[in-house]
Structure 1
Amino acid sequence: MPPFPPADHGVPPTVSTPEFVGRDRDMEALRDAASRHPAIVLIEGEAGIGKSRLLQEWLATDGPRRGPALLSVCPPLRESLTLGPIVDAFRGVTMPFADLELTGLAGVLRPLFPEWSADLPPTPEPLGDARASRHRLFRALDELIHALDVSLLVLEDAHWADDVTLEFLLFLTSRLPSGGPSVVISYRPDEVDAGSLLLRLTSRLPAGVTQARIAPAPLSREDTATLVSSMLGGSAVSTEFTEFLQERTDGLPVALEESVRLMWDRADITVRDGQWSRRELSELLIPPTVRDCTRERVGRLSPTARQVLRAVATLAEPSSDATIAATADLAPSECRAGIAEAAGAAVLHDDGRDLWRFRHRLAAEAVYEEIARTERADLHLRAGRALESVRPLPAARLAHHFRAAGETELWTRYSERAAEHAMASGDHTTAVVLLEDLLSAADLAPPDLARVARTAGVFALSRREPLDDVYHRLIATLRAVLDSPELSARQKAEIRNPLGRLLIIAGEAKAALAELEQAVANLDHDPTEAARAMTYLGWAYAGPWPARTHARWLQRAAVITAAITSPADRLNLAGNRAAALLMLGEEEAWQVIGGLPLDGATSSERLDLARIHTNIGTGALIWGRHADAERHLIVATGLADTEQAARLRYNAEIEQANLAWHTGRWKGLAERGTALAATDRDRPTIYLATVRLAARLAAAAGRDRAAEEQFHLVLEEASRLGAVDDTMEPAAALARLRLAVGDAGQALRTTDRPMETLRAKGVWVWGTDLVPVRVAAYLSAGRPDDARRLTAQFERGLRNRSAPGPRAALAVCRAHLVAAAGEHTRAADAYARAARAWSALPRPYDAMLARERQAGELLAAGRADAGRELLAGQYESLFRLGARGDADRVAQRLRELGAEVPRLWRGGRKGYGDQLSPRELDVVRLVATGKTNREISRILAKSPATVDQQLRAAMRKLKVTSRTALAVTAVETGVLPAERTGARPT
């Protein structure tokens, strides 16, 4: 290339592709990481920063050396294609699948690779659970990757990937320590939603794998000058021109390249004194964005090339000559000429698979925005027609194109098909978004409107995400659909049924009851769904109905269930009814439970039974029937493990942790709760359960401030979610903290609303924690009549119920009343009875607290020796259990009585001196990954105050004064291994 063009021309005959500049450090980091297989490399940066160019240069100069590579790009579709990028990555594979030694598991790949169906094993039996199906699909893809000996998987623009693709990447990378391909992923951080799974992939990298995070920076002025010079014959670029471009483009390589090309097209640059310079400012209108640059450049191409570019922009992803030709309405030869012209102008790029795309995404957007709306509809229609011949059928893309074309019938057909495919892959959110979009934007005929609305509601019930905008939008849309006068009462009932259950999730219990009640009135044609709606009406969540109303609905459901012939439906309804009866405190529940199987004949039955037995375990805990609870939770865990249903197992493990708390098995319980919170943080019920567990332990340990913060959080969130039964314990715990400091008024105010709910619902088995503390608060406030009335009401509510937990609480209430009357000997006997009742469950912590009160009454009755001996026994028992705060209180009382208090530190938590404790080490690990105190508090289920305290202790021990210094020192001193750190602490 000559140093600069001949002087009589003033500009070069053409503009060259820019050299690869300013990326030496990034390239070295990429090479270094890739050379230490297996590796995970994350390339992050804004659009146009040069991520793709970095990958292209690396692949061209180094590339995979162990085996084949899989390369793919995530297209920016309105709704991402489920697993589309992963499927596309295999299209370059030339080895026949028949030559691979694949197991029968690979049969699930047939729908993804129909062109290889003849070479794949038969399709295995479908699983009844989408999550299990998705896990099996992931395993099959992983097997295929290993069979092909793939050494590298490159995925560009992962910010546009669907959730299932991201879940597969999480699955794949988690297995890398045991072998697999290196993974290189590029993405734009500014286009990643806060709830995206991509954040997990970028923040929770596995140990034992080479890890690198590369973030190309904007080009410096020197690199800008070099890049521009390389495009313009190699001559120098003036300082003024360099600064002008740097100011206008901020050193963004794509913006620089496009600006230079446009300026060359307009003859707005020239050679002066051997340097490239721009003309006078008054003569030059430099577009401020790449979009403007692209529009003007494209305008200089031939009509055929522009039509090709409009087609490619409409298609919005790499496409073949034939697809582009059909979309552009051009003959194949004309299309190829247009593609060649656009490629020669460096607007289009061949991705190596004979598929064409814009070199830059922003350029595609600029071209698309310039298309007249009337022409857009024609382009999308032709694109849809062309893609209908593609296999496997790209349903989501077809829905996108036919929507833009105004073809409602085809839009509906392919949206429903895409939603079904997404559901089968476990991507419930995409399925719901597709259908909600259809409902809210399309003018559907009544039959289509009813069908799509019902399906959207049912699909939404399978979502595992917490309450979010997807739920709120769909609820609003379904309500609007119900206002349609064209729908029949039956059609509306089929929509109200799932809507009512969605309203339960949204915490709108009263509205949920109204929708479900209306649905039941018109579901005679579908007994199973009618019984299901009645069962939901029988759940005692928030709302105005008392227990007897819920019980009547459950009785109606039982009558209908008896006539249902489907074994799976009968099992589901019976299990749900049993759990609902338990929550209502109905003795009949145990008869229904006795008829439930412990195992299922099919995968779907086992999954259903795992959920049912977990719910029964939860209800048995409320009743205080701990042996029953443990038995059902063991069954649930075994079934969940058999079906590899991780989330169902987490549900059972949470209840097992609750059981461990009640039965006094506290060793390691805090760590179990923390692990459960970190494993499944997306669901509010799981998170709140772990916070409640941490709050219990904090209160018992005497960390009142942390306990109060955590119990407040649980109380507020449970109230917001409408889980009224879950408000009883936190309100009671907060009231106990108020009573401990003599604030009976606040204790009563804290328990007012839960007490109103308990009385209104009449489900007195919920009162185990709440009623005793309410009675104590009444007595402390000088309201003994209220205390007696509440105790009598509690007793009536528990009549004829084998609920040992609430009955033990009733014994405590009676003891409180006797103690308040000053009958100390009788009160001591009453507290002893309560302690025996608690011990029989067993619930040892509450038994110890009852015996502490018994000791106090013995002392008040003048039996000093017996009181001190019993008190000393409780001190040791509380200390050994882990209730150090209570033990300290008892120790102080013993000292006041002149008794010697033994030191019991041998079995207690050891001191760590200048070393970090395990809890401080957990905090340091998370600080080193860039987490804030508030984020750490949520992950570890601790209060922000506790996290701050442990952070300061760690900084003091490591003799540092900043979070950054803490992370660095922890690595340098070996406290943390180097690979455990990630983002710089803030």
Structure 2
Amino acid sequence: MTRKGGLVQRGTGVAGPRMVGRDAELRRVTDALSQPPALVLIEGEAGIGKSRLVGEALSAPAPRGPRSLVAICPPFREAMTLGPVVDAVRQAVRGGAAVARFGLSALAGTLRPLFPDWADHLPLAPEPLMDAGATRHRLIRAFAELLDRLDIEVLVVEDVHWADEATLELLLFLASRQPLALSMVVTYRPEEVAADSLLLRLSSRSASGTGGSHARVSLGGLAVADTAGFVSSMLDDEHVSTAFAGFLHERTGGVPLVLEECVRLLRDRSDLVRRDGEWVRRTLDEIAVPPTIRDAVTERVSRLGADAQRVLLAAAVLGDPSDERTLGAVSGLSASEGSAIDPVVEAAVSDGIRSGLLVESGSGLGRIAFRHALAARAVADRAAPSERRAAHRRAAAWLETVRPRPIDRLAHHFWESGETARWCEYTEQAADVALVSGDHLTAVTLLHELITEPRLSAEAVAPLVRKMPFLAFTEYGRRADVIVALRAVLETDRLSARDRADVRGQLGRVLFSLGDNAAAAAELELAIPDLGEGTFADAWAMTVLGFPWAGTWPASTHLRWLERARQFAGGSELTPRERMILLLNRVTALLELGEESGWTLAEELGEDESTPQLAVEWARAELNVGDAAMRWGRYAEARARLNSSVDIAGRHGYQVIRNMALVTLLRLDYLTGAWEGLAERADEYADIANVPVCRLEGLLVGAQLRAATAGGDQQFDELLQSLREEGERRGIIALWLESSATHARLRLTAGDTEEALALTEEPMRLLVDKAIWIWATEIAPVRVAALTAADRHAEAERLVADFEEGLRSRSAPAAQSALEECRALSAEGRGEFEEAARAWDLAALAWAGLPRPHAQARAREGVERCTRAARGVGGRRGYGSRLSPRESEVVRLVLRGMTNRQIAVELSRSPSTVGAQLKSAMRKHGVASRTALAVAVTQAESTETCGSVPGGSTIL
């Protein structure tokens, strides 16, 4: 047995190749590693020599070779949390007893789910955290501590394009530590790295002045001369003809693995000949070089005996380096019992090594594997499906005897063997590990695969759906996939009525967490009839239907749902956390509905953070009540509660809640006039694309600030329009109302009364139908202003009267201030300027008391305007009974027979705006149909032609 190029060969006529043509790349890697801590990224296609380069760099002569840990990411469907590095560490440590000597801190208790076989030697598990990001960060910190205790100097992670998200986050964490504790070498195929992969952040981290050295090496195919040297190294270093080297280079692209396989195959075929002291090819038409690794390997395997082929298939199925006993069991050549190596297996393994397809790993543990994953894949692909399934079945049976059981590998083998029930069992276990580790991205991916598997039994679906980490799940971008999966489950007939209700309820939860309030309410309403009165989930669904954004119901319907939930919860056995959640939901709903009782009930929420579960609810309570206080106009209380929420969430690592509180404080700063640096802060939240609620709030605050200071343009109108549509579609009422109000106020300033009416009509109708008048703070004054500008004074006065009645017995300072502004606008519209000036003065005082400086300034401007008008200097005027220019444009197109939608396209307006302008024109002409309007306008034009238009004004 001889060793060449780091590979072990047994009596083969073709040696393992030396590394050729990589001197510059090797020097870059070794230079970087000689200046630790280093970060080395090695990229290149499959078979290009990435692993070989790493191996040569780590074995380079040095006074003291670095202690390295090599992890390899497998191409499994089921990605186990931190699986590659967990396997590498377990092989390096050799038993939990050694762990006890490391002196790990209490943080290491977090590692128990990943190393169940070490449980007796690890600290106790810490209290669970509700926030997935905080849980995962704690796990990664614990793993980094373990690597430190292992005295690892170089961490190598190969094939990172297949890594799970948690492994990538670990690499990012290690790269960002100050000071850096170890060097890292990462290999990957760039063509298989997703555009949003965390891997792409590694190079930017290393280039940011964090110390140490950095190298990025891209490997390409060998040149022709290097191809000749590579082939020569396999043939006893004898000369290879230039023509032969050029021939191979042309057909292999100089990819080392492809070259090696071709040379071995050509030698097996006797297609290589020596002539005049050098290796040459026969005539070109006598040599067929396979175009792919698969073809070359397939032909070579077919030349081996049946036993060797079975061992090769076993090695391909297993994937990882394995000993001969394992290969014997999985190949079916020997029974799994006993410790002796079957001679038949030993001979078959030797044949595989002699062929050059298998090698002994460098671990010194007697493990054997394919030289490259591409060759293993080729062997697996050539096997008959029944043979491949049988090998996977034998692999699963063997691995179930291993302790601890490799969950991810067992799931993989049972899936490939077609045993769905066993695959579900281990995939669910992997999801459980991911959940407890805070790796919710992996958990959702695994659970998604389970619930969408058509062969899964109906009774198994609902329990899996209940495990979906919707409320704590921080990766918002993946929730759309979950929604699709849940809807697909609901479309089947595999669920009982109760299970269907559970799945629909969970769908409502994920829609709710995404901000799609209207869709969430629709799903929960469908679920309620089949929900029994016996679980927390039932009560939760009822309280959510008590929120005013749930459907188009009036406030009284929401209050009935809240009462039903209260009665149910009062007679049920609930945990303290469940009671807190239901109480908080009830308080939040009552305050959103404008019910004073919500403030009294809020005093029962308490300040309990004795457990992480209660702490997250307290942080959420401060957020929700603080948000409500802001909308009611209790600004001091709002700021105190929101700051408290930021503090609690920050202490316990609840990043989602903290961001929500911070973006709500952003809005509060806008309202109270704290505008310094506000635009930049708003832009930061507007860039959080994967958290819709924060993004939309940031965009809205930025838009309102711009509208107040700089006005708008067409692009700005489009932004406000998109915010209105998002708010309406998602059922985020505040977003819809406030963006509509901002847009309408801009249109009024531009003299476009009809557009302002159109923008406020539907939002105002919803407010009136639901009878929740604390929502009217932003929209009502703009609506009244638009109505008075259009001389619709009776409607304006009715709106003011309804607003006043709706606020009776409610201490809502913001809405009361808006009511004062509406009274002033109505009086000004009637031409009663002295009364209007007094009303504007009351509005200014009310706004100042909040305080709300911008609204106060607007009111002071109203006082001055009306005072001048009362003295006969200036004032507002509308079009009265005359058509405005925009109404005239619409009517002319109506006369041409165009529909509202066609007119909207022609004039670049929204269909709702065209409809409002058409209604206004009908009202001014005293008609109720498009036909009657056409007749009236035609007659008016005829009269105008005769020179008898009343008042000397034009109709159109």
TM range (shorter): 0.7 to 0.9
SS in 1 for 2:452: helix
Other-structure match for 2:651: 642
> Equivalent of 1:475, from 473, 486, 497?
486
**Equivalence for 2:332:** 329
Counterpart of 2:476 (choices 461, 465, 475) is: 465
Residues 479-533 of structure 1: CA distance to partner in whole angstroms, max 9, x if unpaired? 134x22xx44333333332123234457776664454234333433523221111
* SS at 1:71 equivalent: strand
Within the candidate set 268, 289, 293, 1:290 is matched to 293
* Matching residue of 2:42: 43
Alignment partner, residue 192 of structure 2: 191
Contact persistence 1:527–1:560 (CA under 8 A): no
Moved more, 838-847 or 758-767: 758-767
- Secondary structure of the equivalent of 2:412? helix
- Corresponding residue of 2:311: 308
User: Which of residues 570, 575, 580 in structure 2 aligns to 1:562?
Assistant: 570
Distance 1:52 1:659, change over 3 A: same
Matched residues in 2 for 1:542 and 1:239: separation?
A: 77
Counterpart for residue 353 of structure 2: 343
Q: How does 1:403-414 map to 2 (within 5 A)?
A: 403-414=415-426
Give the TM-score normalised by the residue count of structure 2.
0.82
Q: Which amino acid aligns with 1:23?
A: R
Q: 1:398 to 1:760 in 2, by over 3 A?
A: farther
Q: Are the aligned partners of 2:753 and 2:786 in contact in 1 as well (CA < 8 Å)?
A: yes
Note the C-alpha offset of 1:39: 2.7
Tell me the TM-score normalised to structure 1 length.
0.80
1:691 alignment counterpart:
699
Task: Find the aligned partners of 2:656 and 2:323 in 1 and give their Cα distance.
Answer: 42
Q: What is the correspondence of 1:377-416 to structure 2 with a 5 Å cutoff?
A: 377-416=389-428
Q: For 1:360-394, what per-residue CA distance to the aligned partner results, in whole angstroms no more than 9, with x for missing partners?
A: 22222222222222122211211111121233332
Q: Residue by residue, what CA displacement relative to the aligned partner does 1:417-468 show, whole Å, maximum 9, x if unpaired?
A: 1211111112223223323323333534443344334445x66873532255
- Counterpart of 1:702? 710
Residue aligning to 1:178? 179
Instruction: Please tell me the residue identity of whatever aligns with 2:194.
Output: D
| 1-structure distance, mates of 2:87, 2:296 | 31
Correspondent of 2:159 among 157, 162, 166: 157
**Which residue pairs with 1:800 in the alignment?**
809
Match of 2:899 in 1: none
Q: How does 1:418-817 map to 2 (within 5 A)?
A: 418-456=430-468, 462=473, 464-466=475-477, 468-481=479-492, 483-484=493-494, 487-504=495-512, 512-524=520-532, 526-541=534-549, 543-565=551-573, 566-676=575-685, 681-702=689-710, 704-705=712-713, 707-708=716-717, 710-817=719-826
CA–CA separation in structure 1 for the residues paired with 2:678 and 2:345: 67
Cα distance in 2 for residues equivalent to 1:336 and 1:772: 88
CA distance in 2, matches of 1:229, 1:460: 62
Amino acid of the structure 1 residue aligned with 2:146? L
**Letter of the aligned partner of 2:784 in structure 1?**
V
Is residue 822 of structure 1 aligned with residue 831 of structure 2? yes
Q: Secondary structure at the match of 1:767?
A: helix
C-alpha spacing 1:560/1:15, structure 2 compared with 1 (3 Å): same
Matches within 5 A, 1:233-244: 233-235=236-238, 237-238=240-241, 240-244=243-247
Q: Judge conservation of contact 1:387–1:394 (CA < 8 Å) in 2.
A: yes
Cα displacement string for residues 611-653 of structure 1 (whole angstroms, at most 9, x for unaligned residues): 2321222222222221221122122122212212233222221
8 Å contact kept, 2:359–2:369: yes
Q: 1:626 to 1:323 in 2, by over 3 A?
A: farther
Secondary structure of the 1:441 match is coil
How large is the Cα RMSD of the aligned pairs?
A: 3.1
Instruction: State yes or no: 1:56 paired with 2:55.
Output: yes
Deviation at 1:749, TM superposition (A): 3.4
My pick for the range that moved more, 61-70 or 604-613, is 61-70
Identity fraction in percent: 44
- Determine the C-alpha separation between the residues in 2 that align with 1:547 and 1:32: 71
- For the 8 Å contact 1:475–1:503, the answer to whether it is kept is no
SS in 1 for 2:477: coil
CA distance in 1, matches of 2:277, 2:770: 89
Taking the TM superposition and a 5 Å limit, the aligned residue runs for 1:344-359 are 344-353=354-363, 354=365, 355-359=367-371
Checking the alignment, whether the CA contact within 8 Å between 1:64 and 1:151 is kept in structure 2 is no
For residue 794 of structure 1, report the CA deviation from its aligned partner. 3.4
> Given the superposition, is the C-alpha separation of residues 101 and 429 from structure 1 closer, same or farther in structure 2, using an over 3 Å criterion?
closer
Say which SS state the counterpart of residue 178 (structure 1) adopts.
coil
SS in 1 for 2:185: strand
Per the alignment, do residues 430 and 111 of structure 1 end up closer, same or farther by CA in structure 2, a change over 3 Å counting?
closer
Distance 1:326 1:469, change over 3 A: farther
Change (3 A) 1:201 1:610: farther
User: In the alignment, is residue 133 of structure 1 matched against residue 135 of structure 2?
Assistant: yes
Are the counterparts in 1 of residues 821 and 859 from structure 2 also a CA contact under 8 Å? yes
Residue 381 of structure 2 is aligned with which of 369, 373, 377? 369
Q: Check conservation: 2:80, 2:408, Cα contact below 8 A.
A: yes
Q: Give the match's secondary structure for 2:216.
A: strand
CA distance in 1: counterparts of 2:470 and 2:673, whole angstroms: 41
- Over 3 Å counting, the alpha-carbon distance change for 1:525 and 1:703 in structure 2 is closer
Contact 2:465 2:506 (C-alpha < 8 Å) held by counterparts: no
Q: Measure, in 2, the Cα distance between the counterparts of 1:759 and 1:18.
A: 81
Contact 1:71–1:89 (CA under 8 A) maintained in structure 2: yes
- Structure 1 residues not aligned, in runs of 5+: 1-11, 868-986
SS of residue matched to 1:609:
helix
CA contact (8 A) 1:408 1:442 kept: no
Residue in 2 that maps onto 1:873: none
Cα distance in 2 for partners of 1:540, 1:194 equals 40
Residue of 122, 125, 132 corresponding to 1:123: 125
Q: Is the 8 A contact 1:106 1:121 kept in 2?
A: yes
SS in 2 for 1:818: helix
How big is the shift at 1:78?
0.8
SS at match of 1:665: coil
Structure 2 unmatched runs, 5+: 1-10, 335-340, 876-956
Shift of 1:292: 1.9
Give the AA of the match of 2:296.
C
**SS of match in other structure, 1:217:** coil
Which amino acid is the alignment partner of residue 218 of structure 1? Answer: G
Give the distance between the partners of 2:239 and 2:15, measured in 1 at CA.
Answer: 15
Write the distance in 1 (CA, Å) between the matches of 2:234 and 2:628.
73
Q: Partners of 2:58 and 2:558 in 1: how far apart? A: 65
Cα 1:694–1:518 shift into 2, 3 Å = closer
Q: Partners in 2 of 1:774 and 1:277 — Cα distance?
A: 90
Q: Partner amino acid for 1:77?
A: F
Q: Is the alpha carbon distance of 1:713 and 1:43 closer, same or farther for their aligned partners in structure 2, counting shifts above 3 Å? A: farther
Residue 491 of structure 2 aligns to a residue in which SS?
A: helix
Deviation at 1:710, TM superposition (A): 4.2
Which digits, 9 at most, give the CA deviation of each residue in 1:67-106, with x for residues without a partner? 5322101111011111111212213434822322222222
C-alpha deviation, 1:155, in angstroms: 0.9
Greater shift in the superposed pair: 296-305 or 76-85: 296-305
Paired position in structure 2 for 1:22: 21
Between the aligned partners of 2:529 and 2:354, the Cα distance in structure 1 is 68
Q: How many residues were matched structurally? A: 849
1:158, distance to aligned residue in structure 2 (A): 1.3
Deviations 1:320-366 (A, max 9, x none): 44433322223343444434433343323444334443322222222
| Distance across 2 between alignment mates of 1:107 and 1:418 | 19
